[in-house]
Amino acid sequence: MAVEYLGTGNPDGVVMGRDAADLVGFHGKAPADQAAGITLATNATAGTVRTAVRSILTALTEKGLIASGP
């Protein structure tokens, strides 16, 4: 198998992007910046949970980590 590895074996790991403005993409998607923070209040309603989940799905789709979002 001809696999190309990103890491070098460094025990501290690998970082992609130096800050939130750096663009990153996966699986052929155009690179995008870091998604905004998603907050959920402790007294969340079904509507606020739904909104938060949609925001997460949108962020994952934008990066190419899942095929499609909401």
Give the pLDDT confidence score for residue 41 in this predicted structure: 72
Task: State pLDDT tens for residues 17-69.
Answer: 898 889 999 998 999 999 888 887 778 899 888 888 899 999 999 999 999 86
Confidence label for 6 from pLDDT (cuts 50, 70 and 90): confident
pTM above 0.75, yes or no: no
Tokens read off for 70? 């909401």
